[in-house]
Structure 1
Amino acid sequence: MQTVFIYILAYCVGQILSAHIIGLLIYRKNVFQLGSGNPGARNAGRSFGKTGFLLVLIGDMLKAYLICWVAQVAGLGILGQSIALFCVVIGHIYPIIYKFQGGKGVASFIGGLLSVSPFSTFSFVFVFLILFLLNRSFTKSGLIAIMTTPFFLFFYDRNIWGSIIIAIIAFIIILRHREKK
């Protein structure tokens, strides 16, 4: 029962869109009506500047990190924490309270991954930086790096089912980027 509660809580917390809240509270603007209309860190950066980008990035990462940490403290293993991360990311991408119009899930994914598998996160960041230096595309570098995370999780934690859940999350994030062009 506790595990199910954590997963439901994860989805509910995932629906807290930092870009929308920060936009309204600090900038007095609705991020859904600015730039691409996407309630994520990149659009917040374009709409509110570097500070807005950082605040949204940290907010979205923190919500996922905390949920995955709660799952860890509750005794859920890598698989349970990965499922909690899945629920947070789904809540962020498809929030009921925003009529299923959420962000793309990248910051939440990174924040949760940091809790689930810190070494996988550091490897993700390393791959991203190398790719970004080579092709100068933030989006392409990020998406390719996200695709590597299931392999890193398996390499570091030897958990095939957790790796499969992370692969599903990566696939959903990539699909979300394709549909939100």
Structure 2
Amino acid sequence: MFILYYIISYLIGNILFGYIVGKVLTGKDIRLQGSKNVGARNAGRLFGKKAFVFTFLGDALKGSVIVVIGKYADFSNAVIIIGMFFVCLGHIKPLLFRFKGGKGISTFIGGMITLDPLFIAVILISFLVFYFLYKGFTIPGFFALFTVCIVLVFIEKNILSSTAAFLTWLMIFLSHRINWRKLIQLKASN
């Protein structure tokens, strides 16, 4: 049963809303435009705020759906969080799109706030704190999601849940391929 759940999670992750929104709104393939990323930020830059919102919500919905399915099946939170790992993996490395997908942030956020609405406050507060320290969205976003993982350790008190959440965060972090040294030097020079 768990294996089927994880396969479904991965396949749902393959639904790339940036691609769908780009095609519906403009008839263009987002994978050939701008940064060529199918995420909400690229969709917003290329196609406007409406595209950003639709893409973000669609990608977040994937994480939410996996949590709802897991809860309906009466799975433990540990099993559900592993399901979130697989839906994010499907988003980042989609088989249907030759393993070139998005970055997984929206999907992870959607899953975590569906798992426990407390994470809405955790994400917003930690993002704002780090935003005032670093400006921009990338670094504060990563710190906000990392904070979610830390809070989860205290809520769940379960090594499997915590490990799955941290591995999901790490996968998202690595998918960005950001030159962190440059970002830190840029911050230090300001």
Question: Which bin holds the TM-score, normalised by the shorter protein?
Answer: over 0.9
Deviates further, 51-60 or 153-162? 153-162
CA distance in structure 1 between the aligned counterparts of 2:26 and 2:121, rounded to whole angstroms = 32
Deviations 1:26-72 (A, max 9, x none): 22111001110000000001011111000000000011101111111
CA distance in structure 2 between the aligned counterparts of 1:121 and 1:9, rounded to whole angstroms = 26
In structure 2, give the amino acid aligned to 1:39: V
Determine the structure 2 residue equivalent to 1:31: 30
Structure 2, unaligned runs of 5 or more: 181-190
State the 1:86 CA deviation. 0.5
Answering whether residue 55 of structure 2 is matched by residue 56 of structure 1, we say: yes
Answer with 1 or 2: which has the greater Rg.
Answer: 2
State the 1:179 CA deviation. 6.0
CA distance in structure 1 between the aligned counterparts of 2:108 and 2:73, rounded to whole angstroms = 20
Determine the structure 2 residue equivalent to 1:134: 133
* TM-score of the superposed pair, with normalisation by structure 2: 0.90
Alignment RMSD (CA, Å): 1.6
Number of aligned residue pairs: 180
Matched position secondary structure for 2:154: helix
Percent sequence identity is: 36
CA distance in structure 1 between the aligned counterparts of 2:159 and 2:116, rounded to whole angstroms = 13
Determine the structure 1 residue equivalent to 2:142: 143
Determine the structure 1 residue equivalent to 2:184: none
* Residue 91 to residue 110, structure 1, CA distance change in 2 (3 Å): same
State the 1:173 CA deviation. 0.7
Matched position secondary structure for 1:178: coil
CA distance in structure 1 between the aligned counterparts of 2:152 and 2:64, rounded to whole angstroms = 16
Answering whether residue 19 of structure 2 is matched by residue 4 of structure 1, we say: no
CA distance in structure 1 between the aligned counterparts of 2:8 and 2:178, rounded to whole angstroms = 27
Structure 1, unaligned runs of 5 or more: none
Determine the structure 1 residue equivalent to 2:176: 177
Determine the structure 2 residue equivalent to 1:83: 82
Determine the structure 2 residue equivalent to 1:100: 99
Deviates further, 60-69 or 126-135? 126-135
CA distance in structure 2 between the aligned counterparts of 1:49 and 1:160, rounded to whole angstroms = 41
